[in-house]
Each structure stands twice: as structure tokens, then as C-alpha cells.
């Protein structure tokens, strides 16, 4: 068990123990209010449980912030604490509704005793509650907004990857930024790399995915046509998905990549170089674009996972631009996401060496990175590679 896993286990035990006083206070508050304050049905069965629930929420938040996650929020301003308390309240309410929903679903599908339904829903919702508190509400300096962080936390069990080569990721106190170069695949590369990479960065994102109309069209062509739903429901579903995708992408503070002209690409490279010069890392996906399709998603995803496409060499110009701004050589760290084996491989960084011939330096770096990712993919036994052109 790694030190990180041990720390999470200790927090989970503390989280479980700190829930007990909140439960007792909730029961005591309901009893006191129903016995001595409220006499009507609405007071005893609606107002009393709601007030008791809020008392339990305040108790749990106080205990969590002082005992379980004290190291993360110590010294935090009052306004920030109040925001987290509000988020904690909303999260607790959502978890409670989830628990009730799980009891209903299990009762309808399997008809077990209600006590077993309640116990199973308590365990499941408790794990989700801990994950949201640990990764979102008490995350110290939050990487994501509350809603996006919650969505990522809920999806994490399905997109979590093991990391091989973690020692090749620069330490947090590293003074120089790096460019993470990752394979794209179907959508596995961007999504899984962004969620699992234990570092801060700004990603390159196709500008069309940040535009509402273009994003909708892309999602509909990719997913919508294969949904066996009515046309109206299909369009509404893709519209909601479009809003979620754009919200998540914007939360990463992306650098838009416009592929329709050399001038726009240079704007992307200059903005990226300025970002690196400020000390921020980049996450890029330099493979050539896949042609649009309207076929079966499963076959296309399998094809994308089994094929590493050749690189645009223009991304390597970042090395020259960074050298012009700082006088330092830039390091590129190859990442390979293997969705089949749920693993992300991290290779030692490759440094851009300024020799005075930017075109040759750029091409050499692009070729070296492509060959490195090719070897990484061969080690994972995943893709069949295209030949370089």
C-alpha cells in the first residue's frame, strides 16, 4: 500500500467515525422538536427532519474541517469556508436523495428486506460522499469548480488509470515547465490523461469543441446518430451533453487550437509559449485528425485505440519559441494512454536542443517523440502503428 493510499484510508476511517455524532444529533433534534415544539403533521414529519438534517450537516462539516481535512483548509478565509460549507450542504442533500433512490431501485428490482436495502445504499452512498468530500469540497486549493469536480469524481472509477513511470513526472517544486505529449485515441487520450495526470497544466483543445454549434455538430455526428431514440429526445440529450463537455473543457483553462490556417496555428503556438514562459505546463495531442465518420462507435473506438497516427511536426516549434523567450531548452514528456489495460505510461522527458536550425531541430524532436510513443504503445501490446511519413 502506497503512502497516498494509507493517508486516504486514515481519512476514510476518520470520516466514518465523525459521521456518528452527526447521526446522533440528528436523531436527538428530531425527537426534541417533535416532542416539545411541533404538534402538527407538517411540523413533526417535514420541518423537524429538515432542521435535524441541517444540524447534522453543520456538525459533520465542523468535525471534518477540524479533524479529518484540517491540514487542507487551515488558514483559509471565512468566505472560502462558507462556500465550502454551502457546497457540503448541497452535496449531503444530493447524497441523501441518492440513498433514497437506491433503496427504491433495489426494492423494485430484487425485493430484499428494507434493512438490507438501507444498509447497501448507506455503504454505496457513503463511499461516494467520501470521494466528493476528499476530492472536491476539502481539496484545499481546488483544481476544478464544484460542479465539474463532482462530475469528474463520480466518473473517476470508470476512467481511473494506473500510472507506470510516475517518477518521470516532474516534482511539484520543479522550476521549469514541461510539455506533456499524449496519444489521442478515440476520446480516451484527452479525457483519461487530463483526469489522471498528477500535475497542473493547460491542455490544447480543438477550438470547435469550445463553440456551442460546432461542439453540438461534432457530438451528434459521433454519438447522436447511433442512439436508438426519437429525434427530439436525441437532440435534447446531445444538447445537454454539449453543455457538460464545454463546461468541463473550459474549466481546464484550455488553449484553443485552430487548424484552418497557418496564422491561427502560430497564434496557438505563441500563446502556448507565453504560457510555458509563465511557468505553466502544457498537455498536447499532436496526432493528425481522424476523418469524420457516421459508422459504428464501437468499431471506430477500437480502431482508434489500435492505431497511433502520425504527428503534426508544427507543435515542436514550441521548443524554439520557448528558447527565444527564456534562453532555456524545453523538455517534452511522452505519455501513452492504454485504455484496454487501464494504464498510463510516462516516459523520461526529451529535451529540445537549440542548434541554430529551427526546422531541423523541430523535425528531429517530432520524430523522436513519435518513435518514443510508438515504443510505449508496443510495450502495452495495444495498437498497430501507422508508418511515419
pLDDT digits (tens, 9 = 90+) for 69-92: 998 887 778 888 888 899 899 999
pTM here is 0.71
**pLDDT greater than 50 at residue 383:** no
Strands (E), the chain: 162-164, 178-182, 202-206, 255-257, 282-284, 331-338, 343-346, 350-351
Other C-beta atoms lying within 10 Å of the C-beta of residue 360: 10
Which residues are CB-neighbours of 145 under 8 A, at least 6 positions away?
251
Matching residue, cell 454505496: 124
pLDDT at 208 over 80: yes
pLDDT interval class at 388 (50, 70, 90): very low
pLDDT of 387 above 80: no
* 198 C-beta neighbours (distance < 10 Å), count: 10
Q: Show the cell assigned to 130.
A: 467520501
**What separation in angstroms does the CA of 148 have from each of 8, 306, 309?**
22, 30, 30
Amino acid at each position: 500500500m502506497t503512502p497516498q493510499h494509507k493517508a486516504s484510508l486514515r481519512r476514510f476511517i476518520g470520516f466514518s467515525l465523525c459521521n456518528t455524532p452527526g447521526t446522533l444529533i440528528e436523531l436527538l433534534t428530531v425527537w426534541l422538536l417533535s416532542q416539545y415544539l411541533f404538534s402538527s403533521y407538517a411540523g413533526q414529519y417535514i420541518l423537524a427532519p429538515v432542521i435535524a438534517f441541517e444540524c447534522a450537516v453543520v456538525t459533520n462539516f465542523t468535525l471534518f474541517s477540524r479533524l479529518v481535512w484540517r491540514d487542507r483548509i487551515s488558514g483559509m478565509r471565512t468566505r472560502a469556508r462558507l462556500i465550502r460549507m454551502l457546497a457540503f450542504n448541497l452535496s449531503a442533500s444530493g447524497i441523501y436523495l441518492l440513498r433514497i433512490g437506491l433503496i427504491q431501485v433495489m426494492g423494485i428490482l430484487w425485493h430484499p428486506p428494507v434493512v438490507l436495502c438501507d444498509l447497501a445504499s448507506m455503504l454505496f452512498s457513503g463511499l461516494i460522499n467520501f470521494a466528493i468530500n476528499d476530492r472536491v469540497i476539502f481539496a484545499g486549493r481546488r483544481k476544478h469548480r464544484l460542479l465539474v469536480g463532482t462530475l469528474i469524481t463520480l466518473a473517476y472509477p470508470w476512467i481511473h488509470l494506473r500510472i507506470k513511470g510516475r517518477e518521470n513526472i516532474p516534482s511539484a517544486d520543479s522550476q521549469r515547465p514541461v510539455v506533456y505529449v499524449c496519444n489521442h485515441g478515440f476520446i480516451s487520450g484527452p479525457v483519461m490523461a487530463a483526469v489522471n495526470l498528477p500535475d497542473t497544466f493547460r491542455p490544447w483543445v480543438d477550438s470547435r469543441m469550445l463553440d456551442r454549434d460546432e461542439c453540438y455538430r461534432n457530438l451528434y455526428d459521433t454519438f447522436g446518430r447511433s442512439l436508438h431514440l426519437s429525434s427530439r429526445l436525441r437532440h435534447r440529450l446531445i444538447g445537454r451533453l454539449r453543455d457538460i463537455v464545454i463546461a468541463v473543457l473550459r474549466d481546464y483553462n484550455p488553449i484553443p487550437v485552430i487548424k484552418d490556417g497557418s496564422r491561427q496555428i502560430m497564434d496557438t503556438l505563441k500563446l502556448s509559449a507565453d504560457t510555458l514562459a509563465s511557468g505553466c505546463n502544457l498537455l498536447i495531442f499532436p496526432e493528425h485528425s481522424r476523418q469524420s465518420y457516421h459508422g459504428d462507435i464501437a468499431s471506430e473506438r477500437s480502431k482508434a485505440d489500435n492505431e497511433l497516427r502520425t504527428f503534426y511536426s508544427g507543435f515542436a516549434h514550441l521548443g524554439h519559441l520557448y528558447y527565444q523567450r527564456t534562453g532555456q531548452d524545453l523538455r517534452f514528456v511522452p505519455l501513452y494512454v492504454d485504455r484496454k489495460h487501464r494504464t498510463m505510461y510516462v516516459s523520461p522527458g526529451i529535451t529540445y536542443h537549440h542548434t541554430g536550425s529551427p526546422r531541423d531541430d523541430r523535425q528531429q524532436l517530432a520524430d523522436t517523440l513519435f518513435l518514443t510513443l510508438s515504443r510505449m504503445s508496443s510495450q502495452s501490446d495495444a495498437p498497430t502503428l501507422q508508418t511515419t511519413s
